[in-house]
Chains A and B, each alone.
Chain A
Amino acid sequence: MNEQNVIYGINGPVVTVRNSHSFSMTEMVYVGEERLVGEVIGITSELTTIQVYEETTGLRPGEPVVGTGSPMNVTLGPGILDNIFDGIERPLKAIEEESGSFISRGSSVSSLDENREWAVTLRVKPGDKLNGGDIYAVCPETPIIEHRFMVPPALSGVVESVKPDGNYKIHDVIAVLRDENGNTHDLTLCQKWPIRTPRPVKERLQTTLPLITGQRVIDTLFPVAKGGTAAIPGGFGTGKTMTQHQLAKWCDADIIVYVGCGERGNEMSQVLEEFSELVDPKSGRPMTDRTVLIANTSNMPVAAREASIYTGVTLAEYYRDMGYHVAIMADSTSRWAEALREISGRLEEMPAEEGFPAYLPSRLSEFYERASMCVNLNGSDGSVTIIGAVSPQGSDFSEPVTQNTKRFTRCFWALDKALAYARHYPAINWTESYSEYFIDLDPWYTEHLGEDFVKYRRRISQLLQEENKLMEIVKLIGSDVLPDDQKLIIEIARVIRVGFLQQNAFHQEDTYVPLEKQREMMRVILHLYRKARQLISASVPISNILQTGLFDKLVKMKYDIPNNRLDMFDEYTAEIDKLLADLVAA
């Protein structure tokens, strides 16, 4: 590494170095006098190609390029939670303190606060045998999350010495490990991990636990499993970001990693503001205590946008290894794919579909495959659930990113423009969306919510399907010509759509709905349907049934029944029975 490597060519974020043999693929490098962070993405005997994660304006040929000898990596340790990073794990709050409101280049702030002290409790004693992933110490990272310090996966050995419990900084050595070759290794509070390599696990498990989100259309009709993958495609204005925010706020994962990848700056400041005000219902602490944000807004350098997804999933895997259930929201993977395309274009690679590089599907699958429910190296269970938003060009789901994402995710929540126009939120289209997790999850639902839940769900989706078919006719000839039993399906489907599927994120009771209430709501709706159908087969005209006001009452029950008053549902069924019996009597 003695030879001095210098910049040869510059084209946007891509910089080349000539006649160098000292770099390796995906190595992290510092470019120019300002030491901009970059990564080696191509090597020939003549040219080494580097993508730079910062603005390249003002760089000159002849400025030095210095290798770090290790691939692009992130620092893992306490202080990640309740923090906000850019795409390559630089802390934005610390950068603000250093350089003000606008991001300057070549910032050398370290990822985690090196001066903060953590109250560490040691879990091992000299002589203990430790393997990769074993926990040697813990500390409270935030009031609700315990940070568990793990032996790096490739390391194992016998503990030679430990420090007493106490306050330590992240680079302090708190234990020394001697491996079988007799070499000693210092264990500190942090470790490094290359972002493009998945962290190893002992065994992958079947995904049998649902990720409970409190959103009716998701929990009931299209559930996702912990350790599963879901895609939310939708054109602009259909509520992708809104849905992601709702999931991040309410889903029952222990830790949320929210990646704002090439999205709006104002949106990220909204997340920051909302999450610090929002109180987690389970712990009574601010949401930020269990959240890490990665913000690489659309005007920040494009190469860092490409890296942000990997940074996010690496952080998620690190917490999974501690035994937590982690959910990562990536908003939006299309921006990430466009970053790939942009860099690929600069490299003058042969494009495949729509200018995207031919390796788009393999990169997408590598990313989504990092979702898992597994037994970690230290024997604990953990999961990483990936929920990726997709922004299809021209709202056209046949474009390459949506199509390839569909292949690698098992849940597809298609957002629909027509629903969004009618302000039906969440605008998840119930005919286009699907979930492949039913088989894995149904046993759980049956065990915890009774056999009825699965039965009700099937009935509800049948009714929606039937309505869908009937609506084709209605669109052509109007609803007046339909027989009463079909009109009833249309009316009950309206109750399902407006009263059940539609959910108001700004309403105190409605923003999160527990599964028991979801089941009860379905029960009451289906009860009304069954009773009304009996009346109709007894030739009671549907207009009389509608006049009871029961349908409108059920539409509003999501607001009228508080989440903790499930007993009120029985009053509803009683009222249905009574009013309909009165009708027959009349």
Chain B
Amino acid sequence: MLIDYLGVREINGSLIVLDDVEGASFEEVVDIRLDDGTMRQGRVVQMEGKRIVVQVFEGTRGISLDNTRTRLKGHPMELALSPELLGRVFDGAGRPIDGLGDIYPVARANINGTPINPVSRVYPKNYINTGISSIDTLMTLIRGQKLPIFSGSGMKHNELAVQIARQARISDEGEEKFCIVFAAMGAKNDVAEYFRRSFDESGVLQKVVMFLNLSNDPIIERILTPRCALTAAEYLAFELGMHVLVIMTDMTSYAEALREFSSSKGEIPGRKGFPGYLYSDLASLYERAGMVRGKSGSVTQIPILTMPNDDVTHPVPDLTGYITEGQIVLDRSLDNSGVYPPVSILPSLSRLMKDGIGEGYTRADHSALSNQLFASYAKVMDARSLASVIGEEELSPTDKKYLEFGRLFEQQFITQGANENRSIDESLDLGWRLLSTLPREELDRVDEKLLDQYYRPGQKEA
């Protein structure tokens, strides 16, 4: 029963209201054909009896009260899935834009997904070696984790994400099981191009699925972009058994699109105008990371978000931090002083690392070492703030040692080249070498046995 509904009753932002619609279902997809022949897609977002509210993905420009024909598609928004996805490029709503034609679907899936039963989840324990000292040692990335990068405009989050994607190695399985899903939401054209080029240069382009909603693409499609990407990721992971790394940039643009959409629906705004359900909405994306019992694949997420005004209490980073399992925070002053990657150690954290490191995973001393590095670096900060008041000269000898440790730590441990791939042993040994510049009694997080084994004062830095 394919009925075209002529005209609309009301247009408001990206929403159109239709009257006397029979048999529509909630969140159903509709096709809208304008008189000039252009086709648009939309989705039912609210219904009241026979009146439905449709969100038009491409926007309502050019739509008048009676120049449209609307047709119900009879199913919610779906993505066509097949192993051919790898190496393809799609727009934000999952349509191919690389000129290679449509995907021949092996399966179709609702892009909203369904929640993983908590009972079926496998608690993630296998670490991913990124080859970046600060991340591997202090905020280890675990397979099946969601670990966002909190950044700000102008900082090197894209470079860091590319480096992680290029160097990420899974210890026990081959390369062929590894792939990347890249979702750009409101990203600048050159950013998307940078990612594409970097993937190309490192020869992984055939292992990448890209969903691009660029900053001049319709805002409403932006809400679909991460959902399409994650649906593809879930298919690759749980049907084809691959280890999928999902990189999503930029979550702040996504949240702003959601806000725009919410306010056009006339919803009551919460903090900073964002809708009250922002937490649930973000969770419905982030929680799609994980591993499932009985399936060999995994979905690991690295969402990137730019904090407006570098403010970590802004609703988007704030809510993200409550959902994700840790965060990698980039710091502008480190960035300005030429430290790459500019990872701010103290606020960064990986919640899952405690069970994925140590004996059998990385090395037995890993946990103690990373605790000690955190604690010592926290003291560096104290010493620095004291020095800024009374001057470095007046500091106690121990505090001066801390300042020196802080300098070495930032220049040798955090800093590394964009192509430098350090093994976990290299990173851990470097950590011990730096700790050895501090007096032994200051290392109160490490027990004596480890100190005997690794504490080597007086060694000069190479």
Q: In the complex the two chains form, is B445's CB within 8 Å of A60's CB?
A: no
Query: Which of chain A's residues has its CB closest to B21's CB?
Result: A61
Q: Would A265 and B374 be within 8 Å (CB), given that A8-B49, A335-B279 are in contact?
A: no
New contact pairs (14) apart from A101-B293, A298-B279, CB-CB < 8 Å = A57-B25, A57-B112, A237-B351, A266-B124, A266-B145, A269-B122, A297-B287, A393-B315, A396-B313, A421-B346, A478-B386, A480-B394, A498-B444, A555-B444
Q: In the complex the two chains form, is B48's CB within 8 Å of A266's CB?
A: no
A11 within 8 A of B: yes
Q: Which residues of B contact A475 (CB under 8 A)?
A: 385-386, 389
Determine the distance from Cα of A109 to Cα of B108 in the docked complex, in whole angstroms: 27
Q: Which residues of B contact A (CB under 8 A)?
A: 23-28, 46-50, 76, 110, 112-124, 144-145, 238, 267-271, 275-277, 279-280, 283-284, 286-288, 290, 292-295, 313-315, 318-319, 321-323, 325-327, 346-347, 349, 351-352, 354-355, 367, 371, 374-375, 378-379, 385-386, 389-390, 394-396, 441, 444-445, 447
Q: Which residues of A contact B349 (CB under 8 A)?
A: 237
Q: In the complex the two chains form, is A421's CB within 8 Å of B354's CB?
A: no
Q: In the complex the two chains form, is B371's CB within 8 Å of A423's CB?
A: yes
Q: Which residues of B contact A552 (CB under 8 A)?
A: 441, 444
Determine the distance from Cα of A96 to Cα of B294 in the docked complex, in whole angstroms: 12
Q: Would A299 and B115 be within 8 Å (CB), given that A101-B292, A264-B323, A475-B385 are in contact?
A: yes
Q: Which residues of A contact B327 (CB under 8 A)?
A: 236-237
Q: In the complex the two chains form, is A264's CB within 8 Å of B287's CB?
A: yes
Q: Which residues of B contact A299 (CB under 8 A)?
A: 115, 280, 283-284, 286-288
Q: Which residues of B contact A315 (CB under 8 A)?
A: none
B interface SS class: mixed
Q: Which residues of A contact B394 (CB under 8 A)?
A: 478, 480
Q: In the complex the two chains form, is A355's CB within 8 Å of B24's CB?
A: no
A354 within 8 A of B: yes
Q: 15 interchain pairs (CB within 8 A)? A: A55-B112, A59-B25, A60-B24, A60-B26, A61-B48, A84-B119, A102-B120, A103-B115, A264-B325, A295-B118, A295-B119, A302-B280, A355-B276, A394-B315, A480-B396
A273 within 8 A of B: yes
Q: In the complex the two chains form, is B120's CB within 8 Å of A96's CB?
A: yes
The 5 closest A-B pairs by CB, nearest first: A394-B313, A298-B283, A299-B287, A236-B321, A9-B48
Q: In the complex the two chains form, is A394's CB within 8 Å of B318's CB?
A: yes
Q: In the complex the two chains form, is B119's CB within 8 Å of A272's CB?
A: yes
Contact residue among B49, B119, B323 (Cβ-Cβ distance under 8 Å from A93)? B119
Determine the distance from Cα of A505 to Cα of B8 in the docked complex, in whole angstroms: 62
Instruction: Give the distance to chain A from B21, nearest Cβ to Cβ, in Å.
Output: 9
A479 within 8 A of B: yes
A573 within 8 A of B: no
A548 within 8 A of B: no
Determine the distance from Cα of A58 to Cα of B78 in the docked complex, in whole angstroms: 13
Q: In the complex the two chains form, is A478's CB within 8 Å of B396's CB?
A: yes
Q: Which residues of A contact B (CB under 8 A)?
A: 8-12, 16, 18, 55-62, 84, 92-93, 95-96, 100-104, 235-237, 260, 262, 264-270, 272-273, 295, 297-300, 302, 335, 338-339, 341-342, 344-345, 348, 351, 354-355, 391, 393-396, 417, 421-423, 474-480, 498, 506, 552, 555-556, 559
Contact residue among A297, A335, A391, A422 (Cβ-Cβ distance under 8 Å from B378)? A422
Q: In the complex the two chains form, is A393's CB within 8 Å of B271's CB?
A: yes
Q: Which residues of A contact B277 (CB under 8 A)?
A: 12, 302, 342, 345
Determine the distance from Cα of A329 to Cα of B329 in the docked complex, in whole angstroms: 30
Q: Would A262 and B283 be within 8 Å (CB), given that A96-B120, A354-B270, A421-B378 are in contact?
A: yes
Q: In the complex the two chains form, is A10's CB within 8 Å of B46's CB?
A: yes
Q: In the complex the two chains form, is A395's CB within 8 Å of B49's CB?
A: no
Determine the distance from Cα of A58 to Cα of B75 in the docked complex, in whole angstroms: 7
Determine the distance from Cα of A103 to Cα of B288 in the docked complex, in whole angstroms: 13
Q: In the complex the two chains form, is A57's CB within 8 Å of B76's CB?
A: yes
Instruction: Give the distance to chain B from A237, nearest Cβ to Cβ, in Å.
Output: 5
Q: In the complex the two chains form, is B26's CB within 8 Å of A342's CB?
A: no
Contact residue among A16, A18, A101, A341 (Cβ-Cβ distance under 8 Å from B120)? A101
Determine the distance from Cα of A426 to Cα of B384 in the docked complex, in whole angstroms: 25
Determine the distance from Cα of A421 to Cα of B312 in the docked complex, in whole angstroms: 15
Q: Would A478 and B325 be within 8 Å (CB), given that A262-B279, A342-B276 are in contact?
A: no
Query: Which of chain A's residues has its CB closest to B395's CB?
Result: A478
Q: Which residues of B contact A62 (CB under 8 A)?
A: 23
Q: Which residues of B contact A355 (CB under 8 A)?
A: 268-271, 276
Determine the distance from Cα of A16 to Cα of B280 in the docked complex, in whole angstroms: 22
Instruction: Give the distance to chain A from B449, nearest Cβ to Cβ, in Å.
Output: 11
Q: Which residues of B contact A339 (CB under 8 A)?
A: 280
Instruction: Give the distance to chain A from B345, nearest Cβ to Cβ, in Å.
Output: 9
Instruction: Give the distance to chain B from A62, nearest Cβ to Cβ, in Å.
Output: 8
Q: In the complex the two chains form, is B279's CB within 8 Å of A269's CB?
A: no
Q: Would A298 and B280 be within 8 Å (CB), given that A101-B116, A355-B270 are in contact?
A: yes
Query: Which of chain B's residues has its CB closest to A340's CB?
Result: B276
Q: In the complex the two chains form, is B367's CB within 8 Å of A506's CB?
A: yes
Q: In the complex the two chains form, is B283's CB within 8 Å of A559's CB?
A: no
Contact residue among A237, A265, A302, A342 (Cβ-Cβ distance under 8 Å from B290)? A265
Q: In the complex the two chains form, is B318's CB within 8 Å of A393's CB?
A: yes
Instruction: Give the distance to chain B from A32, nearest Cβ to Cβ, in Å.
Output: 10
Contact residue among A58, A96, A479 (Cβ-Cβ distance under 8 Å from B396)? A479
Q: Which residues of B contact A268 (CB under 8 A)?
A: 118, 121
Q: In the complex the two chains form, is A10's CB within 8 Å of B47's CB?
A: yes
Query: Which of chain B's residues has its CB closest to A498's CB?
Result: B444
Q: Which residues of B contact A237 (CB under 8 A)?
A: 321, 326-327, 347, 349, 351
Q: In the complex the two chains form, is A84's CB within 8 Å of B123's CB?
A: no
Q: Which residues of B contact A61 (CB under 8 A)?
A: 24, 47-50
Q: In the complex the two chains form, is A58's CB within 8 Å of B371's CB?
A: no
Q: Which residues of A contact B267 (CB under 8 A)?
A: 345
Instruction: Give the distance to chain B from A439, nearest Cβ to Cβ, in Å.
Output: 35
Q: From B269, B290, B351, name the one whose CB has the most chain A CB atoms within 10 angstroms.
A: B351
Instruction: Give the distance to chain A from B450, nearest Cβ to Cβ, in Å.
Output: 13
Q: Which residues of B contact A101 (CB under 8 A)?
A: 116-117, 120, 238, 292-295
Instruction: Give the distance to chain A from B369, nearest Cβ to Cβ, in Å.
Output: 12
Q: Which residues of A contact B268 (CB under 8 A)?
A: 345, 348, 351, 355
Q: Which residues of B contact A354 (CB under 8 A)?
A: 270-271
Determine the distance from Cα of A258 to Cα of B338 in the docked complex, in whole angstroms: 47
Instruction: Give the distance to chain B from A45, nearest Cβ to Cβ, in Å.
Output: 17
Q: Would A423 and B374 be within 8 Å (CB), given that A59-B25, A237-B321, A264-B325 are in contact?
A: yes
Determine the distance from Cα of A352 to Cα of B287 in the docked complex, in whole angstroms: 30
Determine the distance from Cα of A18 to Cα of B389 in the docked complex, in whole angstroms: 69
Instruction: Give the distance to chain B from A46, nearest Cβ to Cβ, in Å.
Output: 12
Query: Which of chain B's residues has its CB closest to A474's CB?
Result: B386
Q: Which residues of A contact B385 (CB under 8 A)?
A: 475
Instruction: Give the distance to chain B from A463, nearest Cβ to Cβ, in Å.
Output: 19
Q: Which residues of A contact B25 (CB under 8 A)?
A: 57-60
Determine the distance from Cα of A556 to Cα of B449 in the docked complex, in whole angstroms: 13
Determine the distance from Cα of A355 to Cα of B275 in the docked complex, in whole angstroms: 9
Q: Which residues of B contact A235 (CB under 8 A)?
A: 321
Q: From B121, B319, B347, B445, name the one whose CB has the most chain A CB atoms within 10 angstroms.
A: B121
Q: From B238, B326, B346, name the one whose CB has the most chain A CB atoms within 10 angstroms.
A: B346
Q: From B28, B119, B277, B444, name the one whose CB has the most chain A CB atoms within 10 angstroms.
A: B119
Q: Which residues of B contact A60 (CB under 8 A)?
A: 23-26
Instruction: Give the distance to chain B from A359, nearest Cβ to Cβ, in Å.
Output: 15
Q: Which residues of A contact B318 (CB under 8 A)?
A: 236, 393-395
Q: Which residues of A contact B319 (CB under 8 A)?
A: 393
Query: Which of chain B's residues has its CB closest to A241's CB?
Result: B351
Determine the distance from Cα of A132 to Cα of B273 in the docked complex, in whole angstroms: 51
Instruction: Give the distance to chain B from A253, nearest Cβ to Cβ, in Å.
Output: 23
Q: In the complex the two chains form, is A422's CB within 8 Å of B374's CB?
A: yes
Q: Which residues of B contact A300 (CB under 8 A)?
A: 115
Determine the distance from Cα of A295 to Cα of B283 in the docked complex, in whole angstroms: 15
Instruction: Give the distance to chain B from A102, nearest Cβ to Cβ, in Å.
Output: 4
Query: Which of chain B's residues has its CB closest to A63's CB?
Result: B25
Q: Which residues of A contact B23 (CB under 8 A)?
A: 60, 62
Instruction: Give the distance to chain B from A140, nearest Cβ to Cβ, in Å.
Output: 24
Q: In the complex the two chains form, is B119's CB within 8 Å of A92's CB?
A: yes
Q: From A298, A299, A396, A552, name the one whose CB has the most chain B CB atoms within 10 angstroms.
A: A299
